[in-house]
Amino acid sequence: MSYQFGTNWSTFADKAGPIVGPLMGYEVLSAFFLEAGFLGIMLFGFNRVGPKLHLFATAMVAFGTLFSTFWILSVNSWMQTPAGFAINDAGQFVPDDWWAIVFTPSFPYRLVHMVLAAYLTTAFVVGGVGAWHLLKNSRDRGARIMFSMAMWMAIVVTRLQIVAGDLHGLNTLEHQPAKIAAMEGHYETESGAPLYLFGIPDDEAGELHYSIGIPNLGSFILTHDWDGAVKGLDAFPEDQRP
């Protein structure tokens, strides 16, 4: 990913490199090396090392992945809601407060939302593998445990994700209202805004053609009020729209 910033977004890397570079470096030096160091033991050491060491290696890979998520989401969150920076004479973003850079206003919401999404995806993948084995042999004890653990995990995480997703959406509405308007296809500010399921955007005309929406649901999701006002793109200058 560090190389992709330089090759695909060279101007961004030049301007934001003093902030993005160290954050990506922290991810490599801490999380990536931790994952890489134990991944081989986890994948190929099941019959070569003791069960306790194999479990420890698996836990370290999981922890390293979580730690990696922390740093990557920190970079992404700073790109969305930048804070703790100054601009030097060369027009580069330079660090002014690393604490504010790492823990931007959107970072906690993005981190929790992403981690829960990863756990939920993992639960369904593991559950699917367990279900496949159960179809082959319904008496397979290991498959039963695998499927049961995955489904219980999915039940718990799904409920948490609904709450986290709502809070994340409200945080985005607070800090990036123009982004929400563009994502939801709202060109005009309105109360009782629908939740659009389909539409073809026309920026020149400022319309969403052939739109299919559920009345008032957009306002309810974004404001928790069926008749709440939702800002459209018309509330923002054209040069500040996504």
**Tens digit of pLDDT at every position of the chain (242 positions):** 666 776 777 888 889 989 998 998 888 888 888 888 899 999 998 888 888 999 999 999 999 999 999 999 999 999 999 999 999 998 999 999 999 999 999 999 999 999 999 999 999 999 999 999 999 988 888 899 999 999 999 999 999 999 999 999 999 999 999 999 999 999 999 999 999 999 999 988 888 999 999 999 999 999 999 999 999 999 999 888 88
pTM assigned to the model: 0.86
Amino acid identity of residue 136, one-letter, is K
Task: Report whether 41 contacts 60 (CB < 8 A).
Answer: no
Helix (H) or strand (E) holding 226: none
Q: In this structure, what are the phi and psi dihedrals at residue 87, rounded to the nearest 5 degrees?
A: -120, 125
Q: In this structure, what are the phi and psi dihedrals at residue 22, rounded to the nearest 5 degrees?
A: -60, -40
- The DSSP secondary-structure symbol of 32 reads I
Angle between helices 33-44 and 51-80 (to 10 degrees): 140
SS3 231: coil
Q: What residues pair up with 202 in beta bridges, in sequence order? A: 207
CA distances from 213 to 187, 195, 199 (A): 14, 5, 9
Task: Report whether 185 contacts 162 (CB < 8 A).
Answer: no
